[in-house]
Amino acid sequence: MQLYNYYRSSASYRVRIALALKGLEYVYKPVHLARDEHLAESYAAVSRSRLVPQLQDGEHALSQSLAIIEYLDETHPEPPLLPKDPHHRAYVRALALDIACEIHPLNNLRVLRYLVRDLGLSEEQKNRWYQHWVDTGLTAVEQRLTHEGLSGAFCFGEQPGLADCLLVPQIYNAKRFNCRLDHLPTLMAIHDRCMALPAFSQTAPELCPDAD
């Protein structure tokens, strides 16, 4: 397998964690978003939508981090990243989507660029925007982890899974943008337990081959 990714893309980091949890080997293919390598003609042949991450598995090109992780879980079931019970699966997927749909899309590179370049926002306004959506979104995740009775050492129970693959990269980003995190004790305790595992710590952005 080949993973087209960018060290700082949190969607890429999610897939790196999932591959590591599954113990799967892959070739790391860097695509430097900040240098616009995803807009190069050569990348159109890899990804028509010019996004990372993109996983090439034999003849199959797979995109969208959540779809890639579900695919990995279906094709390499051990260790499972989703529970078996449909209600528990829905809980884990909803947590993942709370991050993937409510936080990350508002704060990714192309959106921040649009805010600054096209709408003329100041650096201070951009950072306030970023922090607003992180705070709103992570507060909702904390509430869920605390009150729904399904979290344990990790987002669901005692083993890391899909939701943890999304949580850790989101916290990584939140720290980069100096977001407040001290009001999220359950979430941060789960984050810290994840970071004690090599699948999370050794795939971190700063350890990637393309880290600046």
In whole angstroms, the minimum distance from the beta carbon of 173 to a second copy comes to 15
Contact pick of 68, 165, 171, 174 for a second copy (by CB under 8 A): 68
Maximum CA extent, the chain: 49
Two structure tokens written together for 110 = 């192309």
Looking at residues 153 to 212 of the shown chain, list those that interact with a second copy (rule: CB under 8 A).
none
Segment (H or E) for 29: strand 27-30
Instruction: Round to whole Å and give the CA distance between 37 and 52.
Output: 11
Q: What gap in Å lies between CA 160 and CA 180, rounded to an integer?
A: 24
Answer for which of 1, 24, 94, 150 binds a second copy (CB under 8 A) is 94
The residue behind tokens 């880290």 is 211
CB 189 within 8 A of CB 181: no
Task: Choose the stretch contacting a second copy; rule: CB under 8 A; options: 34-42, 89-97, 187-195, 197-205.
Answer: 89-97
Closest among 53, 54, 18, 14 to 166, alpha carbons compared: 14
Pick 100 or 184: Cβ nearer a second copy: 100
36 binds a second copy (CB under 8 A): no
8 A C-beta contact, residue 13 and residue 204: yes
> Which is nearest to 141 in space by CA: 195, 179, 86, 197?
179
**C-alpha–C-alpha distance, residues 166 and 18, integer Å:** 10
Minimum Å gap between C-beta 93 and a second copy is 4
Q: Which of 62, 81, 168, 194 binds a second copy (CB under 8 A)?
A: 62
User: From the list 36, 74, 192, 212, which residue makes contact with a second copy (rule: CB under 8 A)?
Assistant: 74
Q: Are 55 and 14 in contact, with CB atoms under 8 Å apart? A: no
Which of 121, 150, 197, 204 forms a contact with a second copy (CB under 8 A)?
Answer: 121
As measured in angstroms, the least distance from the Cβ of 212 to a second copy is 25
Q: Which of 13, 16, 17, 70 binds a second copy (CB under 8 A)?
A: 70
Instruction: Give the residues lining the site for a second copy (CB under 8 A).
Output: 48-51, 60, 62-64, 66-68, 70-71, 74-75, 86-87, 89-91, 93-94, 97-98, 100-102, 104-106, 111, 114, 118-119, 121, 125, 128-129, 132, 140, 143-144, 147
